[in-house]
C-alpha cells in the first residue's frame, strides 16, 4: 500500500496533472475516485484536521456551495455538506507523509514529495 493517496476525479484536468506529477516522481498513490466512493464524514474530519481546517476541502466555486450558504460556514457545516454532496470536495486532495493538501494548482503537490 502506498504512503500517498489522491482523492481524484478523472474528469478534472488538475487532478490528472497532479496524478501525473506524482507518477513522474516515482509514486503510485492509492487513487480514491471520491464521486464513486465518497469519503466518510470521519475521514473528511481527519483530512480537515491535517490541513488545519475544513475550508481547504471545500470547492467554493461549485454552485452548490453558494446555494448551501457555505462561503461563510464553519468547519462542521462544511464537513457535513461535503459528506452529503461529494461534488463539493476540492480536488485533488493528496495525502502524503509530509501532510495533506488540496493541490490546486497541480504543482502544489511538489511540496508533498
pLDDT tens, position by position, 18-73: 999 999 999 999 999 999 999 999 999 999 999 999 999 999 999 999 999 998 99
Question: Does 1 score more than 80 pLDDT?
Answer: no
Could you confirm whether 103 is annotated as catalytic? no
Q: Give the separation between CA 70 and CA 83, rounded to whole angstroms.
A: 13
% of the chain at pLDDT higher than 90: 97
Which candidate in 2, 5, 12, 65 is catalytic?
A: 12
For the record, the C-alpha cell of 54 comes out as 475544513
Q: What residue spans of the chain are helical by DSSP H?
A: 13-24, 41-51, 63-67, 75-84
Band the pLDDT of 2: cuts 50, 70, 90: confident
> 3-state DSSP helix/strand/coil percent for the chain, to nearest 5?
50, 15, 35
pTM: 0.93
Class of domain 1-34+91-113: alpha beta
Domain range list for the chain: 1-34+91-113
Amino acid at each position: 500500500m502506498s504512503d500517498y493517496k489522491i482523492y481524484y476525479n478523472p474528469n478534472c484536468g488538475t487532478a490528472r496533472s497532479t496524478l501525473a506529477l506524482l507518477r513522474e516522481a516515482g509514486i503510485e498513490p492509492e487513487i480514491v475516485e471520491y464521486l464513486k466512493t465518497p469519503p466518510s464524514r470521519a475521514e473528511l474530519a481527519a483530512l480537515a484536521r491535517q490541513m488545519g481546517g475544513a475550508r481547504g476541502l471545500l470547492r467554493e466555486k461549485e454552485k452548490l456551495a453558494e446555494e448551501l450558504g457555505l462561503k461563510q460556514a464553519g468547519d462542521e457545516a462544511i464537513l457535513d455538506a461535503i459528506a452529503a454532496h461529494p461534488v463539493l470536495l476540492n480536488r485533488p486532495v493528496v495525502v502524503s507523509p509530509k501532510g495533506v493538501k488540496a493541490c490546486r494548482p497541480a504543482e502544489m503537490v511538489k511540496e508533498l514529495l
